[in-house]
């Protein structure tokens, strides 16, 4: 008789525990008013500004008509590139990262069961990728397991090891690859770079462009990033030394080389390769924008 009572009591306890777990999980996964997926989109340079609402710009086709269980917010930040615009590139990008992180933390504070997707274009992809790397390497207030997807279009810090969609662009982003990569979110990051887009496809032996990209990245006057700037500068110098050293850089800075670079840049800007992702084919009947839209939409299911 005593044994039966013990078994019955244990069974009741197990049932109550299971009910509690099930109820807690259901609340976490479907809290009233909370989306299944929260998309934070970071526009590119000049697509937003500190004193105006962010325009969807290039990412409009990515975020429009997502499933109904998805919320989307666009990040406002300086979105400038040159000192005479008020903020240097590094400070502008830091604003984007900070504001995006703030949006995500605020959403997760009230919707703990919501997953997050981060998308960005151009300077916005630079910021989105840095935030993803921060999360994936465990130095962010955002938990890595909350990130469902990171979509980067024309990322100036693209690494050759990042998972590319569409034709494989050579080289890396003009700003250099991120030290440490994306860590625990690497498998959830997708990058798209048009093969002729010099922002995300700089030849590894184009040291003038790589140094220029490094100077833009390091224009953020944040002492906490000093270690990263040292690593990135060391990578460029190491590659330069292994390719022939200072004479190679001098040759790339000659009058003839500068004239050719000017022609190449003029051809690049005229091609509009950086702005044609709405029609850039990545295969399977998809453009860069439609593919990214479908991939983000799948994360909400």
Percentage of the chain surpassing pLDDT 70? Answer: 86
Look at residue 164 and tell me if it is in a domain.
yes
Residue 79 lies in a domain: yes
Please say whether the dihedral angle defined by the alpha carbons of residues 51, 52, 57 and 59, taken in this order, is positive or negative: positive
* Distances from the Cα of 252 to the Cα of 207, 244, 287, angstroms: 8, 12, 35
Is the per-residue pLDDT at 32 higher than 50? Answer: yes
| Assigned domain for 97 exists | yes
Which residue(s) pair with 38 in the sheet? 71, 116
Residue 120 counted as domain residue:
yes
Give the pLDDT score at 151: 98
57 is in which domain, residue-wise?
25-203+273-298
**How many domains in the chain?**
1
**What number of residues does the chain have?**
301
Q: Is residue 103 included in any domain, yes or no?
A: yes
Residue 178 lies in a domain: yes
pLDDT of residue 52: 64
- HEC letters along the chain: CHHHHHHHHHHHHHHHHHHHHHHHHHHHHCCCCCCCEEEEEECCCCCCECCECCCCHHHHHHHCCCCCCEEEEECCCCCCCCHHHCCCHHHHHHHHHHHHHHHHHHHHHHCCCCEEEEEEECHHHHHHHHHHHHHHCCCCCCCHHHEEEEEEECCCCCCCCCCECCCCCCCECCCCCCCCCCHHHHHHEEEECCCCCCCCCECCCCHHHHHHHHHHHCCCCCHHHHHHHHHHHHHHHHHHHHCCCHHHHHHHCCHHHHHHHHHHHHHHHHHCHHHCCCCCEEECCEEHHHHHHHHHHHCCC
Residue 19 falls inside a structural domain = no
8 A C-beta contact, residue 57 and residue 93: no
Q: Domain of 175: which CATH number?
A: 3.40.50.1820
Nearest residue to 31 via CA among 128, 134, 107: 107
Whether residue 166 lies inside any domain: the answer is yes
* pLDDT greater than 50 at residue 242: yes
Query: Distance (Å, rounded) from C-alpha 278 to C-alpha 272?
Result: 12
Instruction: Report pLDDT for 216.
Output: 81
| Whether residue 181 has pLDDT greater than 60 | yes
pTM: 0.82
pLDDT in tens, 150-180: 999 999 999 999 999 999 999 999 999 998 8
């Amino acid at each position: 008789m005593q044994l039966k009572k013990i078994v019955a009591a244990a069974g009741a306890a197990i049932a109550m525990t299971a009910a509690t777990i099930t109820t807690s999980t259901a609340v976490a996964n479907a809290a009233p008013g909370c989306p299944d997926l929260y998309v934070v989109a970071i526009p590119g340079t000049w697509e937003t500004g500190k004193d105006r609402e962010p325009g969807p710009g290039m990412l409009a086709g990515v975020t429009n008509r997502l499933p109904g269980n998805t919320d989307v917010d666009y990040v406002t930040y300086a979105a400038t590139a040159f000192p005479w615009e008020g903020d240097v590139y590094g400070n502008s990008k830091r604003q984007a990262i900070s504001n995006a992180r703030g949006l995500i933390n605020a959403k997760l504070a009230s919707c703990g069961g919501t997953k997050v997707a981060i998308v960005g274009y151009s300077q916005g992809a630079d910021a989105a990728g840095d935030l993803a790397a921060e999360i994936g390497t465990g130095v962010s207030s955002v938990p890595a397991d909350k990130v469902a997807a990171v979509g980067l279009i024309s990322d100036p810090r693209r690494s050759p090891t990042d998972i590319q969609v569409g034709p494989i662009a050579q080289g890396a982003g003009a700003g250099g690859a991120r030290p440490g990569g994306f860590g625990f979110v690497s498998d959830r990051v997708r990058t798209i770079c048009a093969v002729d887009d010099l922002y995300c496809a700089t030849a590894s032996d184009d040291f003038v462009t790589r140094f220029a990209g490094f100077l833009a990245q390091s224009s953020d006057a944040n002492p906490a990033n000093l270690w990263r700037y040292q690593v990135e500068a060391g990578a460029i110098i190491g590659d330069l030394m292994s390719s022939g050293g200072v004479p190679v850089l001098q040759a790339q800075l000659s009058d003839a080389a500068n004239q050719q670079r000017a022609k190449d840049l003029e051809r690049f800007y005229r091609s509009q390769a950086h702005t044609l992702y709405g029609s850039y084919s990545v295969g399977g009947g998809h453009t860069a924008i439609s593919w990214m839209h479908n991939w983000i939409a799948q994360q909400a299911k």
